[in-house]
């Protein structure tokens, strides 16, 4: 583009404003790619492993683009060619994107990787009704035995059976109420056996985890055991244990 009155044209590569527009366009493209990866994983259009791999690459690209945008922002502030708003917007968008991705991709909790948590390590509740819903390639639904139990004792010693003074039938009804309040999708319920099976969907990537609740008589009251299991992934980042503890807090200990 020819110069006017000897000045550098606004869209020349020598103009900071041009580089600010480039930084802004790069930020928008990276955000669109992140949205594509997330939407693909949420809607089943992309395998979660592929989505996570793509997000990791986008995070690295975003960090480089952020440094670029900050450099361009400094250049526009020193120049009278304009473009500061574009550069600043690009830097903010990229900082938020990279920050969110770093926070979400936190390292797993210390200790052995685990994705199957139960309140009864000796006789964990078994899945039945949810099994046909688990897609091919899901983690094995059978409990992993003493090795998994030992890993849970190390990582989540706080997970214990729930004891209530409620009679078994009332405890079953309350368990069903709590599962519904927590937004779990009830797959099966049997007051006679005291078994409730449900599916809980994580809010962001919409991973589906299976849950089984078992209510049994315990003296004058009831014992409630739960098991929460991730369909995919070696580590649940503490989600299954947090789900069980959320249920325990919502369930009255006395009634």
Give the tens place of pLDDT for each residue, 171-202. Answer: 999 999 999 999 999 999 999 999 999 999 98
CA distance 75 to 83: 9
Does position 144 have pLDDT exceeding 60, yes or no? yes
* Least trusted range by pLDDT, from 25-29, 57-61, 165-169, 190-194: 57-61
Q: Has residue 43 got a pLDDT over 80?
A: no
Ranges assigned E (strand) in the chain: 116-118, 162-164, 185-190, 195-201, 208-218, 221-230
C-alpha–C-alpha distance, residues 206 and 193, integer Å: 30
Sole residue written with tokens 């897609």? 135
Q: How far apart are CA 60 and CA 113, in angstroms?
A: 25
Question: Which contacts (CB < 8 Å, 24+ apart) does range 2-11 have?
Answer: 8/81, 10/81, 10/82
Query: pLDDT, tens digit, for every residue of 87-103?
Result: 999 999 999 999 888 77
Q: If we measure between CA atoms, which residue out of 228, 238, 182 comes closest to residue 208?
A: 228
What is the Cα–Cα distance from 61 to 91, expressed in whole angstroms?
13
- 224: tokens are 């409630």
Q: How many CB atoms lie within 10 A of CB 242?
A: 14
- Of 74 and 43, the one with more pLDDT: 74
Higher pLDDT: 204 or 156? It is 156
Mean pLDDT across the stretch 48-63?
83
Per-residue model confidence (pLDDT) at position 162: 96
Evaluate whether 114 touches 235 at the Cβ level (below 8 Å): yes
CA distance 76 to 159: 56
Per-residue model confidence (pLDDT) at position 255: 45
**Whether pLDDT at 108 is above 80:** no
pLDDT (0 to 100) of residue 217: 97
* More confident call, 125 vs 15: 125
Distance between CA atoms of 188 and 150, rounded to whole angstroms?
30
H-type alpha helices, 128-232: 146-155, 168-181
Give residue 107's pLDDT. Answer: 56
Comparing CA positions, the residue from 32, 52, 56 lying closest to residue 42 is 52
Q: Answer yes or no: is pLDDT of 2 > 80.
A: no
Paired tokens of 83: 């473009």
Q: Distance from CA of residue 248 to its chain's centroid?
A: 21
Tokens of 37: 């990866």
Burial of 106: CB neighbours in 10 Å, binned 0-12, 13-18, 19+: exposed
Distance CA 194, CA 164 (A): 14
The position carrying tokens 């998994």 is 148
What pLDDT is recorded for position 253?
A: 55
Which structure tokens are listed for 87?
């550069």
Average pLDDT, integer, range 82-90: 92
Which of 228, 233, 46 lies closest to 138 in space, CA to CA?
233
Q: What pLDDT does residue 3 have?
A: 47
């Amino acid at each position: 583009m020819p110069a006017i009155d000897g000045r550098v044209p606004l869209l020349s590569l020598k103009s900071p404003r041009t580089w600010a527009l480039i930084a802004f366009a790069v930020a928008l493209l990276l955000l669109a790619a992140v949205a594509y990866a997330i939407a693909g994983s949420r809607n089943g259009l992309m395998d979660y492993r592929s989505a996570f791999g793509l997000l990791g690459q986008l995070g690295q690209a975003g960090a480089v683009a952020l440094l670029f945008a900050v450099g361009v922002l400094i250049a526009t502030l020193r120049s009278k060619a304009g473009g500061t708003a574009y550069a600043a917007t690009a830097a903010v968008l990229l900082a938020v994107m990279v920050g969110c991705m770093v926070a979400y991709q936190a390292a797993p909790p210390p200790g052995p990787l685990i994705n199957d948590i139960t309140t009864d390590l000796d006789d964990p509740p078994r899945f039945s009704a949810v099994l046909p819903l688990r897609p091919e390639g899901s983690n094995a639904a059978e409990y992993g035995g003493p090795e998994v139990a030992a890993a849970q004792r190390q990582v989540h010693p706080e997970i214990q059976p729930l004891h209530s003074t409620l009679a078994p039938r009332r405890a079953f009804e309350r368990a069903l109420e709590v599962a519904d309040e927590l937004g779990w999708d009830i797959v099966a319920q049997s007051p006679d056996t005291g078994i409730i099976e449900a599916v809980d969907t994580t809010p962001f990537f919409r991973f589906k985890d299976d849950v089984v609740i078992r209510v049994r008589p315990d003296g004058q009251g009831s014992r409630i055991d739960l098991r929460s299991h991730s369909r995919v992934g070696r580590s649940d980042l503490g989600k299954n244990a947090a789900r069980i503890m959320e249920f325990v807090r919502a369930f009255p200990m006395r009634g």
